[in-house]
Structure 1
Amino acid sequence: MSVFSLVGQSSRRIAGILLGALVFCSFAFGGACWAQEATTVVRPVETQEILVNPGMGIQTFQRYNGDALNSGVKWSEEGPVDKLRSPAESVDFPQSSVAYCRWHWATLEPEQGKIRWEIIDLALAEARRHGQRLAIRLMPYDPDHPLPKWYRESGARHANSASAKDANIWQPDFSDPLYFKYWSALVTEAGRRYDGHPDLDSVDISTVGYWGEGWSDYMPEFPVQKKLIDVYLKAFRKTPLLMNFDQPDALVYGTSHGAGWRLDCLGDMKKPESEMLDQYPEEIAETGIQDVWRTAPVSLETCGVPESWFRAGWGVRYILGEALRWHVSTVNVKSSAIPKTWKTEFDDFQRKMGYRFALRRAEWQDQIRAGEALHLKTWWVNEGVAPIYRPFVLAFRLSSPDHFTVIRTDADLRKWLPGDAVFEDPVFAPGDLSAGDYQLSVGILDPTTLQPAVRLAIEGRGEDGWYPLGMIRVNQGP
């Protein structure tokens, strides 16, 4: 099958047959004359393959591409601290562009002030080695992983009494100035070290309660929550932040200051109180976060794992349909197997989530002079449900056996929301480009490496990541 179809070309030869000359004079415009230019129009052939692209798709959790999956319906909340995991011989799991890892405070800072940054450094390196970027969460504690011993012995206040139902767990008083002092110190230093790191995809805003999800039986007043959120807003100004869903006031505050949002129980259909049927849609409407996706990502985590949905008889099409309606970019299924009977539904889900750029039409002049504009016009469709959130670069390449040049555009792809987009700003060939026949290609480049990084929903991708469109003749300048 051809990479594109050539649908129209007005040539000098055709013009000569029809008009007997290449020059047309319009007396209506004062006798002005011009040469009819030959143009090429192509319509690339679209593909329905699942695209693995930066910042979107199904994530790996506490591991990386190729690692063995969790068995059954269980998973671990302990993030990787070394390279002990070895790749499985065969893994039936989607290839992923994002590795999502989270660690408890006691793991990262077992001694006060002695933070094991090598754990996150290694995770960033491992993500890169596996062709991924890293999304992270720093977690204060959970029922099985207590706060650091040094913190519990620092004089900090705890919130529960010896007679409380959770007396076996050291529950902190989140309003205690010591909690803010020590937790914010960890977050602030993490921002200093990692904000804007090229291999860091996103950071969860983690504040109070189990896993830092922002809820607790011992919730502080909102000004305390706000102060903890502000630590992240100040520490991470370049890397996307994700605000957890559970507390409406915190959700509104975080997203109104540029964060995306995430929820931790996608799929919960248990009755009579279902988060998918009640809490989630109501809270989205009541908090007014329906349009956050336009500028910041939406990330979801499954309630249990897909296998537990299957065992409970929950409707997968409804669940995945709601995720798409919420304009999801990434989903954490906890590196657990997807039921084989749901392969079709999950494949279709992956084709629609995040962004999906299809070039529908491209037109340019057959011949130009070096230093002149290509008069390039392109029509695109974002067939996904969300934009791209990093400043990737739309670029075109002119290449011949002896020369090539990459022409970067200033198109802001972050504004290419689902639907149509047109790019036809002037694109100029360099003035010193040698005369000859050049192949015109298109690519979307990583803003850091300036190498092709985004797969398009069209056929014909070269091994170098560029998509050839057709030929153009470059003549010597005047």
Structure 2
Amino acid sequence: MTPYSLENYEKYKTVKIRPVPLPNKNQDPSHGQFQYVQLSWRELEPARGEFRIEGIEEALRAALNPILVLMPDLPVWVKNDADDCFAALIRKVGSYIGSDRRLTAVLISTLSDSKEEWNAYIEAFDSQTMLAELQNDRLIQYVKEHSCGFGLLVRCSEANWIECCEAFAVQKLQHVWKSHPVVLHVTDLACGPNIRREALRWHASLSNVNAGLGYDLALRRLTYPETVSSHGSLPLRFWFANTGSSRIYRDFQICVQLRQGEVSYELPLHAATHTWLTGDHVHNEMVPLPDMSPGSYTLSIALYFEDRSYVALNIQNRQQNGYYETGSIQVEITHEDPLTNIWDTYYPEGYYPLEDPVVPEQE
């Protein structure tokens, strides 16, 4: 590619950052594995109406990506209407947990697959992710008919992986992963080659064993101007790539930090990260800058979840409190900002604007 190619055309001097991936990156279990939090009905409600659910918070805190399972073992006091009694417990636990973000998902486990129990989960855990067993076709059909979002729990082994593939196809579940997680429960002692291959095709995000699942997000390129104006505009062009097996299901936001010594400015961006699946993601944004003292600043980026924990990127750049340093930028005091309308006549990816083609004259 020559220096005069369109790829290298810029109307202002830019800095192009191409971070290097981490060498021999180890799988981070914080987003690739899960643990069950199994709660016994017999222990949660030893007597009718007497609930002991205070220990749920500690159980969620101790587990890695906890998936809640309410075990429908009958207490001794249950004599009649067991389905209704278990549904009442589901509603009680759901109201107690609420929208607690520590809970990754809740498995729809029932006493007799009754609609009363299903409705209890749908109503009580409406702010949580619910998982349906892949082989429970009646439940899947029911939640589809009621337009309820749901993820999948796939119990898979080297002996039944073909049946799991057929269940995905018959029930048309290939696209569930785009909005809700597919969770893999390996019933063998280890994840075999057929399970691993199909888990990638199903875009599974979590597993009970280390199967190399989850997102793997990296910053491939960042382009920004060498110099900007105080109280002016900062045009940013990002290229991210998620080479993992699944998307990121929690909401997160891109933030940019400009730091000079002890002074720093945090600039939240407006990227539609909720639409990011796997593969490449490009985001261009013209960021307004506050009044800043002139000089050189360190430009860093972070991807923060709502609780201020951060997305770990697969890059070698120095990281502090979630912010990855990318480079330096010069801030100047100017009478007018030359970058405010730079993208009106100039494509942000570095290409000349093209006119619409003219229809050839018919002979």
The TM tier, using the shorter chain, reads 0.7 to 0.9
Q: What is the distance in 2 between the residues matched to 1:254 and 1:52?
A: 32
- Bigger Rg, which one: 1
Aligned to 1:439: 298
In the other structure, the counterpart of 1:263 is: 154
Could you tell me which residue of structure 2 aligns to residue 123 of structure 1? 59
Q: Distance in 2 between matches of 1:369 and 1:317?
A: 55
Q: Is the 8 A contact 1:242 1:260 kept in 2?
A: yes
Task: After TM superposition, give the deviation of residue 475 of structure 1 in Å.
Answer: 2.4
What is the match of residue 292 of structure 1?
176
TM-score by length of 2: 0.83
Aligned match of 2:319? 462
CA drift at 1:477: 6.1
* Number of the residue aligned with 1:135: 67
Matched residues in 1 for 2:318 and 2:110: separation? 44
Quick one: which amino acid aligns to residue 255 of structure 2?
A
1:363 has 2:223 as partner: yes
**Counterpart among 19, 39, 49 of residue 44 in structure 1:** 19
Tell me the CA shift for residue 444 of structure 1: 1.0
Match of 2:41? 105
Secondary structure at the aligned position of 2:256 is classed as strand
**1:287-436 → structure 2 map (5 Å cutoff):** 287-306=171-190, 316-333=192-209, 349-350=211-212, 353-429=213-289, 431-436=290-295
Deviates more, 1:420-429 or 1:292-301: 420-429
Contact 1:355 1:387 in 2 (8 A): yes
SS class of match (2:313): coil
Q: Are residues 433 and 183 of structure 1, via their aligned partners in 2, closer, same or farther at CA, if it must alter by over 3 Å?
A: farther
Give the partner amino acid of 2:150.
Answer: A
More helix by share: 1
Matches of 1:447 and 1:288, distance apart in 2: 32
Range 184-193 or range 457-466, more displaced: 457-466
State the identity as a percent. 29
Residue 207 of structure 1: aligned partner: 110
Structure 1 residue 36: Cα displacement: 4.9
| Structure 2 runs not aligned, ≥5 long | 4-8, 336-363
- Residue 477 and residue 195 in structure 1: after superposition, are their counterparts in 2 closer, same or farther (change >3 A)? farther
Deviation digits for residues 247-283 of structure 1, max 9, x if unmatched? 212123336511101023x2141xxxxx212x21111
1:57 aligned partner: 32
Deviations 1:144-203 (A, max 9, x none): xxx11111xx3x1xxxxxxxxxxxxxxxxxxxxx23321121111222121211322211
Could you say what secondary structure the match of 1:425 adopts?
A: strand
- Deviation of 1:359 (Å): 0.9
The Cα of 1:458 is off from its aligned counterpart by 1.1
* 2:40 maps to 1:150: no
- Residue from 269, 276, 290 that aligns with 2:161: 276
Letter in 2 for 1:280: C
Give the whole-Å Cα distance in 2 for the aligned partners of 1:397 and 1:102: 42
Answer whether contact 1:391 1:412 (CA < 8 A) is retained: no
Aligned position for 2:343: none
Higher strand share: 2
Give 1:469 deviation, angstroms: 0.6
2:286 aligns to what SS in structure 1?
Answer: coil
For 2:68, give the aligned amino acid: I
What amino acid does structure 1 have at the position aligned with 2:321? D
Q: Aligned equivalents of 1:199 and 1:113: distance in 2?
A: 26
- The size of the alignment, in residue pairs, is 325
- Distance in 2, matches of 1:435 and 1:253, equals 62
State the distance in 1 between where 2:100 and 2:272 align. 21
C-alpha distance in 2, partners of 1:477/1:117? 62
Deviations 1:442-475 (CA, angstroms, capped at 9, x unpaired): 1111212x34x21111112424222111011122
In the TM superposition, residue 436 of structure 1 has moved relative to its aligned partner by 2.4
Check the 8 A contact 1:376/1:424 in 2, yes or no. Answer: yes
> Does the Cα contact within 8 Å between 1:358 and 1:381 map onto a contact in 2?
yes
| TM superposition shift of 1:358 | 1.3
For structure 1, the 5+ residue unaligned runs are 1-7, 9-14, 16-34, 62-99, 142-146, 157-177, 215-223, 270-274, 310-315, 334-345
What is the CA–CA distance in structure 2 between the aligned matches of 1:51 and 1:408, rounded to whole Å?
29
Alpha carbons 1:51, 1:455 under 8 Å: kept: no
Q: Secondary structure at the match of 2:180?
A: coil
| In 2: Cα distance, 1:51 partner to 1:395 partner | 25
Determine the C-alpha separation between the residues in 1 that align with 2:99 and 2:333: 43
Aligned mates of 1:276, 1:421 — CA distance in 2:
32
1:428 positional shift: 2.4
Q: By how many angstroms is 1:320 displaced? A: 0.9
